[in-house]
Structure 1
């Protein structure tokens, strides 16, 4: 892992695999609001995923006259946000006990509450603003195939119930093996956990947020990679300059929403945020499964890893289509070779084979039934996440130099962090003292850069 973490991430690759969500691409995918790159701005946001789009939107809501330029190396929302599995799912019980040991009970509770609040806020935001992203709140089922993991899960849920009283983030239903096999159509289950979650197209959500920001004056500059940045004093203040192949742009405030690629611009982050190559497969469900879809999200939990899966909800043109990702645990050393890897133009062959076949195995041949006449696989793709040592992101000010901010390193968990992290970062950047004190009450201290 030390060797993998030391590999420089470089810039996002040209011609990456196209995800299920990105086909067809958005009409603003290649948008540049101005033909040439502005020389100056008030804020430069680097990265156009859910973090970058939400940060730009929050800044413009707070400062409508600000000149905000967003730089994206490829098409808009071309990175991890446009490539994830479609989950808004916290699974907070899986990290709660570790967070309590490492960070203390108060912080563990705050993290669990934040993750739950982010899910609720994400779906509420899509609904309030009319963003067509198939936003669906639902129950999710963690199907457990390892007795040790089932026992640990029950212990964690018990601790959350004990310490969080009646908070909805601690509401889980536990199903034993026989119940799980019957209810969830998973014949080899040791048990299952049921709780609140959701599904959506994160690509369409982020595109929707960008369009809201565009209406407020955002200037996106796509296919404009930030190749380097530096600071220098200017009239007693710090001025940042970002170099791109199309020229340079300067601003007093820079935000890195660059996730797994962050160390390319800031070498001090090498090894702190490490790229992680993941894979997902979109499949036509077997003919034995409900033709209207499964109606809920799933994960399949093993001794050392897991898969995550959604079934597209009724009302979408592709109702019932399954997207499933994971498979790292099937590789040597639990997928260590995927860390430090940024080639999202390619797939890992053994994970490709596993993801194609595992759905029939999880549901059993009898429940799965025959494959669709058009075949099982609709699309396969890869994407680059940003992993951190403790699984928590970096949000806030970077270094002792003024004007450099970050929201990155979401460890594949961005859809239950990014919306609220962007809100918190905007408060850190331009909020009042009272707002900052209020933010400290709900945003985990362990995620704030120090």
Structure 2
């Protein structure tokens, strides 16, 4: 069962959306063309693409808790493409999201052109791979040695890094972006139901998929898509691929902008540091900025694998985050708030996207983005929408993501 108790709010969700507890009608309809389970970035992107492509289709979106209350609404607030390993596809996502935001003037802190961030390179191999990535001039990357990076970023030390990439990237308020997608999807005719937990999926009706919603009956649909990421395997039904829940933890500080040595653009910057990440965003108080720092789960026993409670924090990680902020960035302020979110890690290391065997050919999955979904999900949802209609994948969609009865090998 998904934790339903009152959850810790992240910075992004500190002003709840008017859709937080939305119910399109008293109960969901008994039939639908598409049922999407989960209202994070994956579910909202799917609802948006499907409703744009199929305006007459009956689309139902179900969420067990408040709207966008899972990992998306609790992440580190980054829109940072992984240019080294997956450059072309992640740049495609970054460009598509940026175009959407600017075209519709979505207020999520990512609408200023030319913003740049940083990827810290922790090993010699990462530095060498980054150097090869420079061959792609359309990525607009700038490579710095460790000493140059420390000077640019005002780092307290640089003995354990090998350099840094300066890249097109930005902090983002994911909660605001997802709620815009949800609002637009509802305007297109999508029925959205929060506090509607799916407890079973079956194939008892010929050619259809049955979705049982706790306390609200059953929906019979042509196609059902699980966009439940780290909570996927809490739904105990056969033939689902394994996606391990992994808890990430984030802390926020509020500091004087002038006290930070990190260079900011419009009061913002995004920095990736291996498994750790830092975002700086404006506050409502003039001269103050929020510093959002997450990661360090690999410094504690068990790496937070298997944890599904996003209402609590790990005090050991809390202490390590405070020390990291002090040692790396000279931040001595007390934290303002702290929160956790449940990520989804697939067994293969590659997201699962596509049709699941059985279920009358109508059950699909989209999940397992390992805490790096913001620059993968939007165009993945577009590709899956096309695949469900045509049976084929667009040529630009990574073959590794395409799930079959035999899961793809790890890249």
Q: Same fold (TM over 0.5)?
A: yes
For 1:254-293, list aligned pairs within 5 A.
254-265=224-235, 267-268=237-238, 272-285=242-255, 288-289=259-260
Matched, 1:338 2:304: yes
Q: Among residues 103, 116, 124, which one is paired with 2:91 in the alignment? A: 116
Distance 2:383 2:212 in 1: 24
Q: Residues of 1 paired with 2:63 and 2:341: CA distance?
A: 16
Q: Which residue of 1 aligns with 2:75?
A: 84
CA drift of 1:270 comes to 6.4
- Contact in 2 for aligned 1:13/1:343 (Cα 8 Å): no
Q: Aligned match of 2:105 in 130, 155, 173?
A: 130
Distance 2:62 2:372 in 1: 23
Q: Following the alignment from structure 1 to structure 2, what is the Cα–Cα distance between the partners of residues 346 and 37?
A: 32
**Closer, same or farther: CA 197–328 of 1 in aligned 2, 3 Å:** same
Between Structure 1 and Structure 2, how many residues are aligned?
Answer: 395
| 1:142-188 superposed Cα distances (whole Å, 9 cap, x missing partner) | 334x5xx1x111221233345xx4342xx432222322222110031
Q: Distance in 1 between matches of 2:225 and 2:347?
A: 22
Q: Specify whether residues 74 and 411 from structure 1 end up closer, same or farther in structure 2 by C-alpha distance, changes over 3 A only.
A: same
**Deviation (angstroms), 1:265:** 2.4
C-alpha change, 1:294 and 1:131, in structure 2 (3 Å) is closer
Q: Is 1:282–1:321's contact at 8 Å kept on the other side of the alignment?
A: yes
Q: 1:399 to 1:351 in 2, by over 3 A?
A: same
Residue 382 in structure 1 maps to residue 340 in structure 2: yes
Shift of 1:268: 4.6
Q: Specify every segment of 5 or more residues in structure 1 that has no aligned partner in the other structure, as ranges.
A: 1-9, 97-110
Residue 153 of structure 1: SS of its match in structure 2?
Answer: helix
Q: Distance between the aligned counterparts of 1:257 and 1:393, measured in 2? A: 11
**Normalised TM-score (structure 1):** 0.82
1:293 deviates by 7.0
Distance 1:91 1:123 in 2: 16
* Residue of structure 1 equivalent to 2:409: none
Among 150, 153, 158, the alignment partner of 2:126 is 153
Range moving further from structure 2, 263-272 or 403-412: 263-272
Residue 65 (structure 2) pairs with residue 45 (structure 1)? no
Q: Give the deviation of 1:316 after TM superposition.
A: 9.2
Q: Structure 1 residue 407 and structure 2 residue 369: aligned?
A: no
The residue that corresponds to 1:252 in the other structure is 222
Aligned equivalent of 1:56: 47
Consecutive aligned runs of 4 or more in structure 1 exceeding 4 Å deviation: 266-271, 290-294, 313-319
Secondary structure of the 2:154 match is coil
User: Once the two structures are superposed, what CA deviation does each residue of 1:52-92 show, in whole Å capped at 9, x if it has no partner?
Assistant: 01111111111111111111000000001100111011234
* Offset, 1:424: 0.4
1:238 alignment partner in structure 2: 208
Verify the 8 A CA contact 1:173 1:194 in the aligned structure 2.
yes
* CA offset digits 1:181-209 (Å, max 9, x no partner): 22110031233222221221001100000
**3-state SS in 2 of match to 1:135:** coil
State which of 102, 116, 129 in structure 2 corresponds to 1:139.
116
Mean Cα deviation higher: 417-426 or 17-26: 17-26
2:142 equivalent in structure 1: 173
Alignment CA distance shift 1:177-1:389 (3 Å): same
Q: How is 1:208-227 mapped onto 2 (pairs within 5 angstroms)?
A: 208-227=180-199
In 1, Cα distance between equivalents of 2:265 and 2:91: 27
- Take 2:90 and 2:286, find their aligned partners in 1: how far apart are those partners? 30
Distance in 2, matches of 1:415 and 1:127, equals 16
Listed as ranges, the matches of 1:308-347 within 5 Å are 308-313=277-282, 320-332=289-301, 336-347=302-313
Alpha-carbon distance in structure 2 between the residues aligned to 1:247 and 1:316? 48
The alpha carbon displacement at 1:29 in A equals 0.5
Superposition deviation, residue 267 in structure 1: 4.2
Gaps of 5+ in 2: 405-411
Asked if 2 retains the 8 angstrom alpha-carbon contact of 1:293 and 1:321, the reply is no
1:292 Cα offset (Å): 7.9
CA contact (8 A) 1:263 1:269 kept: no
How far apart in 2 are the matches of 1:352 and 1:316?
Answer: 25
**Aligned mates of 2:233, 2:287 — CA distance in 1:** 38
Distance in 1 (CA, whole Å) between partners of 2:285 and 2:396 is 35
Contact 1:396/1:405 (CA < 8 Å) preserved in 2? yes
User: C-alpha distance in 2, partners of 1:314/1:381?
Assistant: 18
Secondary structure in 1 aligned to 2:255?
Answer: coil
